[in-house]
Structure 1
């Protein structure tokens, strides 16, 4: 419990303890949205693991895999693990986690696609992996920015000065 409270305070700042109403968490559309997010994150994990497996297989076949591929594949898995934590805390109603998940689902696809566009940085199969990763992240962002989810996670009111 203490660890979770510390995580929420550290990651969420002043709004770390702000939790939405229980009735909104139990709403069927909210439950369905988080189910979709979980499946999309599982797909992200599969994509990340597939990139590592492909790199290992190609290495064993005698191909030289650039350092950038190993770095990218590892970072994607670490990012996905972070997103699982955000999704878990958001599903419990923490506004900060919803906001982080929403922010990253907008930023990561852009960064990934820009990097994928750099000529000769990655082999073709890794460029395809980055595009799939981006599409899945855009899907998460789409779920999070639905009218229902934005209504479910209202921005916390600023504290008034005494």
Structure 2
């Protein structure tokens, strides 16, 4: 299993896939508490995403035409949430790349979601509401990850020196 995870880490983490942060930052109570809260926020995101799919299914079963963008959005949100769980889990193991990706996506996804929600007539009101709640929760995740403590617990990998050609 670890071989599969290391391949996935290499794909997601790039050149810093193996870099882990110092243990003292990970073991700090504030770090553990932040990841605990983040995990619960992501559980809420998963529940909201699952509820959106359930609403779409119930509406479709009642004969209401559910537009393709609603189905697409529902599936994409569930996929994004699973990805965020993976990043959070690997970040708790000390992988800087996972913390970095989780931090980045928790900032980007709300912006994209709110912009798309603002497109008139694209989604029904219940889905626009779901998107706003989804975005607010992710902003909360980003807030935890952007704290001074979390940024100090996850220092950037050291820069490599310039590459020189062998003579």
TM-score under structure 2 length normalisation: 0.94
**1:7 lines up with 2:13 in the alignment:** no
Instruction: Name the residue aligned to 1:99.
Output: 100
Instruction: Name the residue aligned to 1:18.
Output: 19
After superposition, the CA RMSD in angstroms is 1.0
Name the CA distance, whole Å, in 2 between partners of 1:64 and 1:8. 40
Q: Which moved more, 1:4-13 or 1:30-39?
A: 4-13
Instruction: Name the residue aligned to 2:150.
Output: 149
Instruction: Name the residue aligned to 2:109.
Output: 108
**1:119 lines up with 2:120 in the alignment:** yes
- 1:11-41 residue CA offsets vs partner (Å, 9 max, x unmatched): 1111111101111111000000000110010
Matched residue SS, 1:156? coil
Instruction: Name the residue aligned to 2:79.
Output: 78
**Is there any run of 5+ residues in structure 1 with no aligned partner, and where?**
none
- 1:54-84 residue CA offsets vs partner (Å, 9 max, x unmatched): 1111122221111110110010000000111
Instruction: Name the residue aligned to 1:39.
Output: 40
**1:63 lines up with 2:64 in the alignment:** yes
Matched residue SS, 2:157? coil
Aligned 1:121-140 pairs, distance under 5 A: 121-140=122-141
**Is there any run of 5+ residues in structure 2 with no aligned partner, and where?**
none
Instruction: Name the residue aligned to 1:50.
Output: 51
- 1:73-113 residue CA offsets vs partner (Å, 9 max, x unmatched): 01000000011110010010000000000000000000000
Matched residue SS, 1:72? helix
Instruction: Name the residue aligned to 1:160.
Output: 161
Name the CA distance, whole Å, in 2 between partners of 1:95 and 1:55. 37
Matched residue SS, 1:119? coil
Name the CA distance, whole Å, in 2 between partners of 1:116 and 1:59. 21
Runs of 4+ that moved beyond 3 A: none
Name the CA distance, whole Å, in 2 between partners of 1:27 and 1:134. 28
